[in-house]
Chains A and B, each alone.
Chain A
Amino acid sequence: MHTFGYRANALLTLGVTILALMCAMASFSDNFSLPSPSAHVQVLNVNWFQKQRNGNDEVSLTLNISADLQSAFTWNTKQVFVFLAAEYDTTKNSLNQISLWDAIIPSKEHAKFSIHTTNKYRLTDQGSNLRGKEFNLTLHWHVMPKTGKMFADKIVMTGYHLPEDYR
């Protein structure tokens, strides 16, 4: 009965159970933090605005993004993935959601930032509906935990009105 195999098995089972319990508790403790991030985004310039050869509108913007996501970090946070999305609707599509810029924030020390950038990904429409289009800018962040459940939230900011003509 009390062979080596038996004891090893019991020890392993206990160890795995305790580890699983600790992971569950670490993930559960994330629920008690109430993050209150702030963000501000400004469109500084429309660098170009054109119709591609395939007929789709494309815009290049210069953006100033500042945000304070320090409160999104808990002791169970591995990193926070933050991105800025443009959201608008057209007659063809009830929703277009395009990520313009994103970044990985590895630690709390880097979670307060201000960055001056052009859009990292193309803002391209499915069609040519962008002239005079009003779109929303939303800062999303996804909290990736060391273990357990992932969280996500967003701040919707004032939109931007694209020019009536290509440039």
Chain B
Amino acid sequence: MGFVGETLDSLKRTQLRDALSQAISLGMIVTSALMIWKGLIYFTGSESPVVVVLSESMEPGFKRGDILFLHMNKDPIRTGEIVVFNIDGRDIPIVHRVIEVHEHGGTGEVDILTKGDNNDIDDRIMYAQGQHWLQQQHIIGRAVGHLPYVGYLTIIMTEKPIIKYVLIGALGLFVLTSTE
């Protein structure tokens, strides 16, 4: 079949094959990153398994830019544990230590009070209006591991979005132009 052979040859000449394989490798990078993230969510049981520390309220234990690894399971929350929680009406989750726990006998529900190690007073003032305690549903996970500095790039990128676009652009260009 001379015709097919000719067409294939011309395809090769137009480097469509190259472009396709570039597109696939780019797709592979994006999807494997997504797989790792979703895999982490599954294995840790926490909806956000890795968080970056944004505030100084847990200094000097956790500094701004440190990364925390979260874990979530059925084990009850106890005092001393460092938990990440959401407050209704606040976008950014908070990483603080539990200082008080009351577990109800019948229902097994818990009332939790938290405080940042570097703060002078407990967190009741920053809970929602009229909220005295955190409940289990506010907790995203408990911190189990710590990696210093790594999250600082995230902070820089959120504060100066231009750096984010430059970085993403450079990476994209690198993937598209590298031929090996």
Chain A contacts to B: CB under 8 angstroms: 1, 5-6, 23, 27, 78-79, 81, 83, 85, 89, 91-99, 102, 104, 106, 121, 126, 140, 142, 144-150, 152
Contacts and interface: CB of A to CB of B under 8 A. Distances in A.
Contact of A104 (B79, B105, B117): B117
Nearest to B177: A5
Contacts of B100: 97-99, 121
A121 B145 contact: no
B147 interface: yes
Contact of A99 (B82, B99, B174, B178): B99
A80 B79 CA distance: 15
Interface in B166-180: 174, 178, 180
B60 interface: yes
* Category for how many chain B residues contact A: 20 to 34
Contact of B79 (A78, A89, A91, A98): A98
Given A95-B102, A96-B102, A144 B79 contact: no
A83 B145 contact: no
13 contacts: A6-B180, A78-B60, A78-B61, A81-B80, A95-B103, A96-B102, A98-B79, A104-B60, A104-B61, A121-B100, A149-B145, A152-B80, A152-B81
Given A1-B180, A5-B174, A93-B103, A83 B79 contact: yes
B148 A147 contact: yes
B8 interface: no
Contacts of A126: 102, 111
B80 A83 contact: yes
A57 to B, nearest CB: 13
A79 B60 contact: yes
